[in-house]
Structure formats: C-alpha cells, structure tokens
Amino acid sequence: MVDEHPIDDQAKLDHEPKLNRFFKAAVKTRASDLHLKTGQPAKLRLFGELKNTTGEILTAEKIEELVFEILSPIQKKFFLEHGTIDFAHEIEGEHRFRTNVFRQRGMISLAARRVNTVIPPFEELNLPSVLADICESRQGLVLVVGPTGCGKTTTIASMIDYINRTRSCHIITIEDPIEYLFKDAKAIVSQREIGLDTRDFEEALTYLMRQDPDVVFVGEMRDARTVTAGMRASETGHLVFGTLHSANASQAVHRLLDLFPQNERDLVRQTLSLALRAVISQVLLPCLKEGVDRIPAVEVLINNASARKLISDGREGDLPSVIRTSQQEGMQDLTYNLCELIKDGSIDPKDAFKYAPNKEELKMALKGITTTGGIL
C-alpha cells in the first residue's frame, strides 16, 4: 500500500499562505509582535524591543501579495474602502494572531500581536489573588487599563475563564476581533466578532440585553455609547468588563469622562461612581526569572465608599491615597508592587524605575518607608 500522507502534507504546504512563514517565525522565537513595512525586513518584537529578521527587504508589491492572500473577499473589500482592517489569523490550528493591516503613505503595512490559545490562570500570569474576588461580583464595571501591549486582553481572558469554570451563567463577549477562544465549562460563552457576527459595536450593544447575559466583555471603551451601555448593564445586575488605554485609575476616570460632552459629565461622574467595581492597572516588564519572559506590575483599585466619594466629588486625583491606605481590602499600589518584584528578584530595578509613577516614592519604598510614614 502506498502511503499518501507525504503527498497530502506537501499539498497542504503548497496551499499554505506564504505569510505564514513570518507568523511561524514569531511563534518559534516567542516574539510578541510581527511587523511588515515596505523597505524593511520583517521585524519581530522580542522582550519589548523590535528586532530585524534575516529575511529580504520587503517591497510594497510583496507585502500586498502576502496580505491579500490571507484576506477573504469581504475583508479585502473592507480594507480597500477603509484603509485598515482588524482580524484574527490562525496557523497550525493552535497559534492565533490579532492582526491589523493598514495603509501608511499609500503602502500596506501589517502589525500582528501573538495571542496564546491556552488561557492561563491568575497564578501563572503572576496576577494578584484579589482578581478572583472581583470575578465573584454579580454586578459592576471592571476596567483593565494600561498602555498598548501590556497584557490587558490576557488578564480579562483569565478573569472570564475563571468565571466560566466556577459559575453557572451566560457570558457574552463583543470583540474586534475575537482573540482567545473559550470552551463552555460551567458557564456558556457566546463570542461575537465585529464584521462577522454583528455589523459594529453599536448594533451589538443595542441588542445585548435581549440575549440574557450575566457577564459581558465589551472590549475597549472607545466612545461614549460603549461606556454608557457598559454602565447601564452594570447598574441592571450585570458584571461588565472593558479595557482602556490609561496609566492608572484616576487617569481612567478622566479618560471616560472626556468621551462625553461637557454638559453631560456631571451626570456621568455620578453614574460612574456607583457603577464602577474595580480598576486594574498593569504594565509588563522583562522578567529575570528563568522561563518567564515578562511579568506584570499591577495596581488594583476597589471602588469602596472612599473611592466612590472621591469620584463623585471630582477628586479622582486622590484615588492613589485610597489604594495605599486600603491594602487590607485587596487594593494594591503599583509602587509597592514594583518594590516587591525587585525584592524577590523578578525584575531589574532599572526597569522598575522606568515605569514607576513616582521615582522618589519607589526609592523610599525600597528603603522600607511609605509616603505616609509607615514601614513596608
């Protein structure tokens, strides 16, 4: 009997998109990102730094050929009309990339973020245990904030997976595109992708409450409508997750309010002070421990009575003081966490000082002195 498997394998290789060799290189090197730009070799982000690959210099024609090969006709039409498109690309049935194709100076570029298909628990991500307590909440708005590439999506995926494994409920995610794939466990998880399952966020949010959700992930809080829908859902007995590009809890409140016209902000402020459950702020730093590429430094604000009062009164700039004085409630100060990561040998002090909100406070913390005069 002739073994036909080698022929089948060769056929698969012949039909495989040529762009996949770049994605495979990212997987092999454990790069976090892949970049393609005209006039440059393909670049991979390793340990936070972009590095050139040894491949050829890419021409505009080559990139167009590579990209158009993996776009469906509908996706290609959307890209040609809008000049940008987000989608998820999967290789070998197990490696997923959140991919953005865009035009710059009339030429096509690509930026892809590698997403782990296995959703790690809090412990493996070095996240604080208080996140489990937040997941036990039955309602409220939970924001995970930080700069681009800080692991916000992974943190929320871990939180949603925790709920999926521990609670009988209906979880709905609205994503652009879907990154992590959830398998129903104790909960059922409905994942809706923009452009595939629904036209846009506005349409998805309009019909959201008719789908009987208990937990909702609405992606990035990018406009007033999304924020309003999230707050309304949290007020009516739902646990709502969202992400935001901001450095900390006080900046997150500012960013949300800035999405609304000036004459609406007082009402939004009062609503937010009641709807907010927690703000988790994080940054990713290179890790010194073997087997761990990067480790998060995390700040956690729980919206207790003191925090609600500050937000309501327009004094969100004082929220750091609530975090520092309420660690017994599960809150965690970023400076304190950076200090702990230095002490246990997880991060280089030089990296910690790059991300410290106040370098003098970190210096004092390393000496065992808090800003309130206490000892760490």
The predicted-structure confidence for 133-182, as pLDDT tens digits, reads as follows 999 999 999 999 999 889 999 999 999 999 999 999 999 999 888 888 89
What does 290-322 look like in DSSP terms, one character per residue? TT-SEEEEEEEEE--HHHHHHHHTT-GGGHHHH
Q: Over 70: is that where the pLDDT of 121 sits?
A: yes
- Helix H or strand E encompassing 224: helix 224-235
| Burial class of residue 306 (count of CB atoms within 10 Å of its CB; 0-12, 13-18, 19+) | middle
Q: What local confidence, expressed as pLDDT, does residue 376 receive?
A: 38
Selected residue with higher pLDDT from 90 and 132: 132
Q: What local confidence, expressed as pLDDT, does residue 14 receive?
A: 53
Q: Over 60: is that where the pLDDT of 130 sits?
A: yes
Structural domains of the chain in order of their starting residue, each with its CATH number: 5-115 (3.30.450.90), 130-332 (3.40.50.300)
Average pLDDT over residues 50-67: 94
Q: What local confidence, expressed as pLDDT, does residue 116 receive?
A: 72
Average pLDDT over residues 293-311: 96
Structure tokens at 269: 């402020």
Angstrom distance (rounded) from CA 227 to CA 274: 14
Structure tokens at 195: 């452009």
Q: Over 50: is that where the pLDDT of 1 sits?
A: no
Structure tokens at 372: 């309130």
Q: What local confidence, expressed as pLDDT, does residue 13 receive?
A: 47
Q: What local confidence, expressed as pLDDT, does residue 336 receive?
A: 92
Cis peptide before 147 (omega within 30 of 0): no
